[in-house]
Chain A
Amino acid sequence: MSGHDHGDDGVSRRKVLECMTWAGTGVLWTITGGVPRSLGIIDSAQAATPAAPGMTFLQISDSHVGFDKPANPNALGTLEEAVNKINAMPVKPSFMIHTGDITHLSKAAEFDNADRIISQSKLDVHYVPGEHDFLDEEVKFYRERYGRGTKGQGWYSFDAGGVHFIGLVNVVDLKAGGLGNLGAEQLAWLEDDLRGKSKSTPVVLFAHIPLWTVYPEWGWGTEDGGRALEYVKGFGSVTVLNGHIHQVMQKVEGNVTFHTARSTAFPQPAPGAAPSPGPMKVEDAKLRSMLGVASINFKQNEQRLAIIDTPIQG
């Protein structure tokens, strides 16, 4: 990756400064020929330039609509701020994925409120559930709204811009003492879904709980996530997008880039940095710098996929 794709005129100084502001405290990754590497601020500025071609999609996560505890008494309000941020983005994204915990307690009104705000983005949204979305007695509110056309507990795949997207569910049938769980039925479906796909097809896996083991002491991982990763091993470019841990975390292993997005509701502590993974109360002035969304840019010809985390503020 370099500035060559911008031609001889390059990027004007003013634009670079604008984009540096835009990139904020974000972190950017690109994948060139399936090999990810991190980029300097100038490169990231170029990637965020409005002229950037290719497909851009957004990841939003852990909106916890209904949460009103001290860590953020108005989670619906910060969700709306995040959506406003999305609407102000220089590149209109093609669509959005939501990696779960849409609501805090799976109440019908919480789902309704979430939808009312998220729909203001006027983007198609592809959802996967978090454990907070399956709490109603009959476990029907999520499925009624977002389960149509999905398999099993709500998994599915779709293609966009030359990328194969797979939404997985790892918050059901959790075992005592264990982590997130995909289960045999879903893994069999995944293997089947990938069968016959060209290995040069970029693959994006998204699910609520990290598919990689972030911190098992807090349940931050997926028991059989390794099985899912076996199935994508031969693919040149694999990106795994998760939520659940309410902070940005990344890992690169071979051709696989793992990334978790911020929440729009409340931050959680770094692994082991607090007695529990519960909501972390920070100064009011700091809260919005710890909430945000991620935008992901993909260029077909360069096998390049870049992730920029954008806080709501700061």
Chain B
Amino acid sequence: MKTLNRRDFGVAVAAAILLPATTARADDMEVHIDNFVFQPAELKIKVGTTVSWTNRDDIPHTVVSAGKFRSKTLDTDDKFSFTFTNAGDYKYFCSLHPHMTGMIKVE
């Protein structure tokens, strides 16, 4: 039984060590739309990161980066996600309220 316990312990340690690697998705980033503002307005992320935008306003918005990505119309609490596979600066805006702008810097 002792060896079994030790093995269980070993598994648990392995899992704990693996955790950061297997939960790379925990690095995924969130942007909220509140009061016609993207928050945070600028994000710095690593290649491979997925960013999710959630609209928390009572008015629909979109998330559009010319030639790169374009969400459908996001009604209240709707979400849009995009995974950045290339480095670069991604300016984006709401095509309904173009004074709303944001930036994702991918390195």
* Complex contact A137–B72 (CB within 8 A): yes
* Complex contact B93–A277 (CB within 8 A): no
* Complex contact A276–B37 (CB within 8 A): yes
Tell whether A93 is near chain B: CB-to-CB under 8 Å.
Answer: no
Tell whether B73 is near chain A: CB-to-CB under 8 Å.
Answer: yes
Question: Number of contact residues on A: which range applies?
Answer: 20 to 34
Whole-angstrom distance between the Cβ of B45 and the nearest chain A Cβ:
20
* Complex contact B60–A177 (CB within 8 A): no
Whole-angstrom distance between the Cβ of A199 and the nearest chain B Cβ:
35
Tell whether A47 is near chain B: CB-to-CB under 8 Å.
Answer: no
- A179-B58 contact given A137-B72, A276-B35, A276-B37, CB 8 Å threshold: no
Tell whether A91 is near chain B: CB-to-CB under 8 Å.
Answer: no
Selected from B66, B75, B97, the residue in CB contact (under 8 A) with A105 is B75
Q: Which of B14-39 contact A (CB under 8 A)?
A: 35-37
Tell whether A178 is near chain B: CB-to-CB under 8 Å.
Answer: yes
- A69-B76 contact given A135-B60, A279-B59, CB 8 Å threshold: yes
A104 to B58, CA, bound (A): 11
A131 to B59, CA, bound (A): 11
The proximity string for A residues 252-294 relative to B, scoring 1 for CB distances below 8 Å and 0 otherwise, is 0000000000000000000000011111000000000000000
* Complex contact A131–B96 (CB within 8 A): yes
Selected from B36, B59, B101, the residue in CB contact (under 8 A) with A176 is B101
Name the segment of A150-158, A188-196, A213-221, A225-233 touching the other chain. A213-221
A216 to B98, CA, bound (A): 11
Tell whether A140 is near chain B: CB-to-CB under 8 Å.
Answer: no
Task: Select the residue from B57, B95, B97 with max chain A CB neighbours within 10 A.
Answer: B95
Selected from A71, A132, A176, A179, the residue in CB contact (under 8 A) with B93 is A176
Whole-angstrom distance between the Cβ of B39 and the nearest chain A Cβ:
12
Whole-angstrom distance between the Cβ of A139 and the nearest chain B Cβ:
11
Whole-angstrom distance between the Cβ of A177 and the nearest chain B Cβ:
5
Whole-angstrom distance between the Cβ of A234 and the nearest chain B Cβ:
32
- With both beta carbons as reference points, the residue of chain A lying nearest to B99 in the complex is identified as A219
Binding site for B on A (CB under 8 A): 69-71, 104-106, 131-132, 135, 137, 174-179, 216-219, 275-279
Mind listing 20 A-B residue pairs with CB under 8 Å?
A: A69-B58, A69-B76, A105-B60, A105-B73, A106-B73, A132-B60, A135-B96, A137-B72, A174-B98, A176-B66, A176-B93, A176-B98, A178-B98, A178-B99, A217-B99, A275-B35, A276-B36, A278-B58, A278-B59, A279-B58
